[in-house]
Structures are given as C-alpha cells and as structure tokens.
C-alpha cells in the first residue's frame, strides 16, 4: 500500500511549456484528500518550493537542496544537513580559476558573485530572489546549504562531476540538469529525505512512491518502494526505476499515480 507520494518539480510535474497542468494539481489535491501524504522534493530553495505548493493548492513537506533541507510547509526546519565550509571554499577557488559560474546557498538564501546570463537563465520564472556579493569570502559558511556550478558545456559538467567525486568522496555531487553540477553534504539526498519523512510519519520508505526525471532523483527512486522515472528522464534514472511513465507534457505523474496508488490502494 502506498502511503506517501514524493515528486520532483522540474521535468516531473512542471514544464516550461505547460507549467503545472490542472490534471496534476487535481491529482495532488486528491491524494491529500484521500489521506495519502504528498511531499515535494527539489534542488530549489524552500521559498521556491513553497511557491510551487501554493500554485498547486496543497500544504505538504518540502524537501529542498536535494535533501539538505526538509521543511514543513509553514517553514519549520524538520531536518538539515550543511556542506563542509572548508571543502566549499576549495571548490569555489577552483571554479573561479576555471570561469565556472557558481550559485551559493546560505541559510536558504542565494548569493552570486557574477550577475550574469547564467543567473538570469537559472532564475527564469522560478520566483527566486538572489543577492550579488563582491566575494563569497564575505559570507558565513556555517550554514551552507549547497553550491551549484553551472557551465553551458555538458561534457565539461560530466567530467567536472567525476573529478569532484574522486577528489572529495565525503560530499554529494550530482548532475541535476545537463549544465548543473550540485554540490552538497554527503547525506543530502532525496533518498535520505524520504527515509526521514517516512520514519517521522510512522511508516516504511517501501510504502512510498517517488517520481523524478534527473540523476539527482535516482537516490529517491531507488529508496522508495515504487520508483518511477519520467519518459523525458535521463537514461540513468530510467535504468534504476521500477517503471517508466509518460512525459511531463503528457501528465506522466498523473498516470503513475493512477497505476500505483489508486489501483494498488483500491481507493
């Protein structure tokens, strides 16, 4: 029996073409109305994740920064895992030398050194505020959520990720989109966040359905009892999933819920 559904946002329930469709909104509202927990899991900030929940019309736990921050809808911190400041500063110095754009997230606030096209493209319509600083060295890194390295070169990002994994095995490094390298606490994964929420709510992660489309969703797809990949997802997540649903444009989330929640739960 499925007791909780955990979903990624971008490429899973949201697309630039369609936004979040009425079918997806109604499906998520119906899950909650039927007594099934829903959680949103994203690399985004709490504020951005909450704005998505508001658009859908639900109040649910929000897994942010790939699992580095788990908040209640109201903003209470339920669980948090910070990135090591010393390692972060080493990576920042390296990125400066190699002209890699960096987003730095401290206490759920986004900072940049360069107010460039990278940050403008990243913000898009996400509704995220950001602050420019002369240097990241000005910031207190004691509550550092994550780093996001961006470079419009997919081959470079792939090799950079492997390089960081080899050099820093004590952190979590993953690609969230073709040009995005996410850098966080080793335990800041969506899979660990699912374990945390399931335990808090009194059931097993095996009673969870998780759905996503990118490599940063692989951990939660593997952790959940039923792991679903979007048809528009990466080959890597499809290889780990129990089931591949339709695309985000064709409401693959709704189709997965119909198959694995309503049919199994017989609600």
With CA atoms as reference, report the closest residue to 241 among 266, 265, 264, 211: 211
When comparing pLDDT for 262 and 68, which is higher? 68
Q: What percent of the chain stands above pLDDT 90?
A: 95
pLDDT surpassing 90 at residue 231: yes
Q: What is the DSSP letter of 19?
A: B
Predicted local confidence at residue 202, as pLDDT: 97
Q: For residues 73 and 54, give the distance between their C-alpha atoms in angstroms, rounded to a whole number.
A: 10
Predicted local confidence at residue 266, as pLDDT: 57
**For the residues 26-43, what does the mean pLDDT come to?**
97
Predicted local confidence at residue 124, as pLDDT: 82
Residue 245 φ then ψ, to 5°: -95, -170
Q: What percent of the chain stands above pLDDT 70?
A: 98
Residue 6 CB neighbours (<10 A): 29
Q: For residues 10 and 46, give the distance between their C-alpha atoms in angstroms, rounded to a whole number.
A: 15
Domains, the chain, with CATH or none: 4-80+188-265 (3.40.50.1000), 85-185 (3.30.1240.10)
**Maximum Cα–Cα distance across the chain:** 57
pLDDT surpassing 70 at residue 264: no
């Amino acid at each position: 029996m499925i007791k909780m559904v955990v979903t990624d946002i971008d490429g899973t329930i949201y697309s630039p073409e369609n936004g979040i469709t009425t079918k997806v909104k109604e499906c998520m509202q119906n899950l909650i109305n039927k007594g099934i927990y829903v959680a949103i899991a994203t690399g985004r900030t709490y504020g951005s994740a909450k704005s998505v929940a508001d658009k859908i019309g639900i109040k649910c736990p929000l897994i942010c920064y790939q699992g580095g921050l788990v908040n209640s809808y109201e903003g209470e911190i339920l669980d948090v895992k910070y990135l090591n400041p010393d390692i972060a500063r080493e990576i920042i110095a390296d990125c400066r030398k190699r002209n890699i754009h960096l987003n730095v997230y401290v206490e759920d606030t986004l900072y940049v050194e360069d107010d460039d096209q990278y940050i403008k493209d990243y913000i898009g319509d996400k509704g995220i505020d950001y602050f420019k600083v002369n240097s990241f060295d000005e910031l207190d890194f004691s509550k550092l959520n994550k780093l996001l390295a961006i470079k419009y070169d997919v081959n470079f990002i792939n090799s950079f990720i492997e390089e960081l994994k080899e050099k820093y095995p004590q952190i979590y490094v993953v690609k969230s989109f073709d040009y995005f390298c996410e850098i966080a606490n080793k335990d800041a994964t969506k899979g660990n966040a699912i374990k945390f929420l399931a335990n808090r709510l009194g059931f097993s992660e095996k009673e969870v359905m998780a759905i996503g489309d990118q490599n940063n969703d692989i951990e939660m797809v593997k952790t959940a009892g039923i792991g679903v990949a979007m048809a528009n997802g990466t080959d890597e997540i499809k290889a780990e999933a129990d089931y591949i649903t339709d695309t985000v444009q064709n409401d693959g989330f709704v189709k997965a819920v119909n198959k694995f929640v309503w049919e199994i739960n017989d609600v």
